[in-house]
Structure 1
Amino acid sequence: MAKKYRSDGLAAIHETMEALHEIGVVDKQTMREFDESCLAPVQVMSPEEIRELREREHLSQPVFARYLNVSKNLISDWERGIKKPGGPALRLLTVIRKKGIQAIA
């Protein structure tokens, strides 16, 4: 998946920093901090947004869960607000929101 930057300028600077990291001029910790400042954050999704996204794609909870490689119960918990998606799951939901379920199918 391509990285999403806050701006075109930060994208260019980030590519330069990655090259410097590859040759050993920039250490891993500095690169992590730089990543955090340049890359666009993933937006948190409300339970209603997750349900609407699933329904927009015309998927049942079990089928949606299979696409995301999680349990049907977890999808249910997200949609009821008991749990919140994070990390890779939230990133996948963001991709589905922007490009549809076919982007991960």
Structure 2
Amino acid sequence: MNNVQETISEMAADLYEVGAIDKVTLRKFNIKSLSPVPNYTAKQISLIRKKVGLSQAVFAAYLNVSDRAVKKWEQGESKPSGATLKLLSIVDKKGIEIIA
């Protein structure tokens, strides 16, 4: 980041700390304020799917991947990445309805 961006980010963070702006507004100014996307284990992915009450095939359809991909994740043979990992994180935090 250049000096201007750093200054704006620091000012936004200070405004957030005193309650002058909310977290959504803070994110517009500071990319560092975004929560990191977790790397899920096979067991965690399986638990997320079961928590939302879906079969592997239906869960895969919501995430726009193949049911084979979900099966491989749950068996630890591969891991989700990119946008799929972000969707999985959203489903974990907010439920399946948020992407339905």
Per the TM superposition, whether the score is higher than 0.5 is: yes
Question: Normalization by structure 2: what TM-score?
Answer: 0.70
The yes-or-no answer on 1:43 pairing with 2:43 is no
Mind listing any 5+ residue stretches in structure 1 that lack a counterpart? 1-7, 17-33
Structure 1 residues 40 and 62: CA distance shift in structure 2, 3 A: same
Q: Which string of whole-angstrom CA distances, capped at 9 and with x for unpartnered residues, describes residues 48-90 of structure 1? A: 0000010111100000000000000000000011111111011
Instruction: Provide the residue aligned with 1:82 in structure 2.
Output: 77
SS at match of 2:49: helix
Deviations 1:32-58 (A, max 9, x none): xx73x4432101111000000101111
Alpha-carbon distance between aligned partners in 1 of 2:64 and 2:99, rounded to the nearest angstrom:
11
Gaps of 5+ in 2: 1-11, 17-22
CA distance, structure 2, for counterparts of residue 93 and residue 67 of structure 1: 10
Cα RMSD after superposing both structures: 2.0
Identity score, percent: 39
TM normalised by structure 1 equals 0.67
- The runs of 4+ residues in structure 1 deviating greater than 2 Å are 10-16, 37-40
Partner of 2:8: none
User: Which among 84, 88, 91 is matched to residue 93 of structure 1?
Assistant: 88
**How many residues of Structure 1 are paired with residues of Structure 2 in the alignment?**
80
Deviation, structure 1 residue 13: 6.5
